[in-house]
């Protein structure tokens, strides 16, 4: 064994390397697999604990560089292959998975929490899918997106190729990546993507608010590789959205934490009810699914009593109110094109036609009940991305379901409706093609019931 450290306050004593295991939280190794570490612990007669995190030295190096513990990602975790001779570690990857149950190909029939036992694989799939998305190759992108979604739902970690037998949505390319990670601890294909100049440039360019694939392609072909060069080039013309994206870049690329999201929620609710007292304001997106961080905060607004004119004017009134308060940094209102009796879209990724507003709000530090407010030194506010959606009251259940996500959950929900129930579903409505009728719903539970599905809670939709 090359090196092994226990940096979280553990006591190492004598030449045998024993330590007080009840005080250990992280074990960091260099050039060793998780199996090597566990075997070494057993040889030293050290009882393994479920509290151990088995990590590569890269995690410790990143911590030292940041001057604080960094979040553990799949690339940091050491792979443990099943070995009957090793003592089992509760929660570790040496525990064999439970008997395989039939797993649905549809995310809407799987319960997927934030407890991902296969992050090493799903992180790899996400990178490969993103690379194909940057190349607008949907055919190659989807298999990796679906594979990541399936593995996120598993209640056990994959440690051998035998573990994936009978699991749907795992094609030959996906299995090849899984096998590479099991054998080597990483994927050569993923490594190549992360080192690819085009991928790195697209990743950087699209991190700017308002920059899509077309613009990223244009900048890459022009020879740009850094944002500083782009900003300093006098020949380029930026949209209003892109100008805001560059101006507030550091704030917008940093994660919004839950405390900040809750503070924004208070601002939104106070402003909305000031003009529409009976309005219902619901935080949607990842925060509704239980996530602790996100890149923006989404809200669905509806009112049981508002007239059509009051609905149309609300977002304008609210944004004008924030503008007068000096809180509005950017605003783009998209007017409604919703038609009451229009059939749901056949496209699984179709956007809705409700009135919506894409904002950047100034959130003052004093409003955030958390020390982790992510503010720059000497600055008492942070720019936060906020999306507001105004929908008719009778369509609130469909809009809430659609805006809660996750993206893959919604895609599969619409695919299931089409292929298994002969229905059409989007953020506006559910249509039964056999009976030729719109199916009404007062809640998400009723939509699931119409589709013949068990209801899945928002926190179980992290597909």
pLDDT at 66: 74
Round to whole Å and give the CA distance between 439 and 433.
11
Neighbours of 245 (CB within 10 A): 22
pLDDT at residue 7 greater than cutoff 60: no
How many beta carbons lie within 10 A of that of residue 234, not counting itself?
5
pLDDT of amino acid 415 = 97
Q: For 403-436, how does the pLDDT look when each residue is reduced to its tens digit (9 = 90+)? A: 999 999 999 999 999 999 999 999 999 999 999 9
Q: List pLDDT tens digits, range 291-340.
A: 999 999 999 999 999 999 999 999 999 999 999 999 999 999 999 999 99
Residue predicted with more confidence, 33 or 98: 33
Pinpoint the residues of the chain covered by CATH 3.30.210.10: 402-460
What is the spatial distance between Cα 199 and Cα 143, in angstroms, rounded to a whole number?
19
Instruction: Quickly state the pLDDT bin for 458 (edges 50, 70, 90).
Output: very high
CATH 1.10.150.110 domain locations along the chain: 107-194
pLDDT of 225 strictly over 50: yes
Distance CA 41, CA 3 (A): 13
pLDDT score of 5 more than 90? no
- Is residue 366 predicted with pLDDT exceeding 90? no
Distance CA 247, CA 329 (A): 10
Comparing 82 with 102, the larger pLDDT belongs to 102
* pLDDT per residue as tens digits for the range 134-169: 999 999 999 999 999 999 999 999 999 999 999 999
DSSP E strand boundaries for 214-284: 256-257, 280-283
Q: What pLDDT was estimated at residue 61? A: 77
For residue 88, the model assigns a pLDDT of: 46
- Residue 26: the pLDDT is 79
Q: What mean pLDDT value characterizes the chain?
A: 88
pLDDT tops 90 at residue 25? no
CATH of 253-393, one of 3.40.120.10, 3.30.460.10, 3.40.50.1100, 3.30.559.10: 3.30.460.10
pLDDT at residue number 77: 73
What is the per-residue pLDDT for 76? 72
Q: Pinpoint the residues of the chain covered by CATH 3.30.460.10.
A: 253-393
Mean pLDDT, residues 108-128: 98
3-state DSSP call for residue 388?
Answer: strand
Residue-level pLDDT at 365? 85
Average pLDDT over residues 253-266: 97
Tell me the mean pLDDT in the region 270-282. Answer: 98
Looking at the annotation, which residues are catalytic?
296, 298, 387
List, in order, residues 6 or more apart from 73 with CB less than 8 Å away. Answer: 119, 123
Torsion angle of the four alpha carbons 261, 266, 268, 272, in this order, in degrees rounded to the nearest 10: 160
Residue 241 pLDDT exceeds 50: yes
Predicted confidence band at 79 (pLDDT cuts at 50, 70, 90)? low
Give mean pLDDT, residues 175-184.
Answer: 97
- For residue 92, the model assigns a pLDDT of 42
The residue among 75 and 187 whose pLDDT is bigger is 187
The answer for residues whose C-beta is within 8 angstroms of residue 168's C-beta and 6 or more apart is: 103, 104, 105, 150
Q: Quick one: pLDDT at residue 51?
A: 56
Instruction: Kindly tell me if the per-residue pLDDT of 263 is higher than 90.
Output: yes
pLDDT over 80 at 78, yes or no: no
Fold of 197-247: DNA polymerase; domain 1 (1.10.150)
Architecture per CATH, domain 402-460, reads as: 2-Layer Sandwich (3.30)
The reply to whether the predicted model has a pTM over 0.75 is yes
The CATH superfamily label for domain 3-76 reads BRCT domain (3.40.50.10190)
Q: What is the H or E stretch that residue 261 is in?
A: helix 258-275
**Among 91, 87, 93, which residue's Cα sits nearest to residue 45?**
87
The DSSP H or E segment spanning 423 is strand 423-425
Q: Which residues lie across from 432 on neighbouring strands?
A: 423, 437
- Residue 41 pLDDT > 90: no
Please check whether residue 352 is in contact with residue 402, taking contact to mean a CB–CB distance below 8 angstroms: yes
Classified by CATH at the fold level, domain 107-194 comes out as: DNA polymerase; domain 1 (1.10.150)
């Amino acid at each position: 064994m090359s090196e092994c450290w226990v940096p979280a306050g553990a006591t190492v004593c004598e030449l045998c390397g024993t330590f007080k295991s009840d005080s250990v939280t992280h074990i960091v190794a260099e050039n060793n697999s998780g199996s090597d570490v566990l075997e070494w612990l057993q040889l030293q007669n050290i009882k393994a604990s479920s509290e151990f995190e088995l990590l590569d030295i890269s995690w410790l190096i990143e911590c030292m560089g940041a001057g604080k513990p960094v979040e553990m990602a799949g690339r940091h975790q050491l792979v443990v292959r099943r070995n009957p001779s090793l003592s089992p570690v509760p929660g570790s990857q040496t525990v064999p998975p439970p008997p395989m149950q039939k797993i649905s190909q549809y995310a809407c029939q799987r319960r997927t929490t934030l407890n991902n036992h296969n992050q090493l694989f799903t992180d790899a799939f996400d990178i490969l899918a993103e690379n194909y998305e940057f190349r607008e190759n949907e055919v190659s992108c989807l298999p990796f997106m679906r594979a990541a979604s399936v593995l996120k739902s598993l209640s056990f970690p994959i440690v051998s190729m035998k573990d994936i037998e009978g699991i749907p949505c795992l094609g030959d390319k996906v299995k090849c990546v899984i096998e590479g990670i099991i054998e080597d601890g990483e994927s050569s294909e993923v490594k190549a993507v992360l080192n690819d100049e085009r991928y790195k440039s697209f990743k950087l360019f699209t991190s700017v608010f308002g920059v899509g694939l077309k613009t990223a392609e244009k900048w890459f072909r022009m020879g740009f590789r850094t944002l500083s060069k782009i900003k300093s080039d006098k020949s380029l013309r930026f949209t209003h959205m892109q100008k805001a994206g560059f101006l507030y870049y550091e704030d917008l690329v940093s994660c919004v934490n839950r405390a900040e999201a809750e503070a924004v929620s208070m601002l939104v609710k106070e402003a909305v009810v000031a003009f529409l007292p009976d309005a219902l304001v619901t935080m949607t997106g990842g925060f509704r699914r239980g996530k602790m961080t996100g890149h923006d905060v989404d809200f669905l607004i509806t009112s049981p009593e508002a007239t059509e004119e009051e609905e149309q004017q609300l977002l304008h009134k609210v944004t004008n109110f924030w503008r007068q308060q000096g809180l509005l940094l950017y605003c783009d209102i998209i007017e409604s094109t919703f038609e009451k009796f229009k059939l749901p879209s056949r496209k699984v990724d179709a956007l809705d036609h409700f009135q919506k507003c894409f904002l950047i709000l100034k959130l003052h530090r004093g409003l955030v009940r958390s020390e982790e407010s992510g503010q720059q030194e000497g600055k008492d506010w942070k720019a936060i991305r906020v999306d507001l959606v105004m929908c008719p009251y009778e369509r609130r259940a469909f809009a809430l379901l659609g805006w809660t996500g996750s993206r893959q959950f919604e895609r599969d929900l619409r695919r299931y409706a089409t292929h298994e129930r002969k229905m059409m579903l989007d953020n506006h409505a559910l249509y039964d093609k056999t009976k030729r009728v719109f199916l009404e719903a007062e809640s998400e539970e009723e939509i699931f019931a119409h589709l013949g599905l068990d209801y899945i809670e928002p926190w179980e939709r992290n597909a």
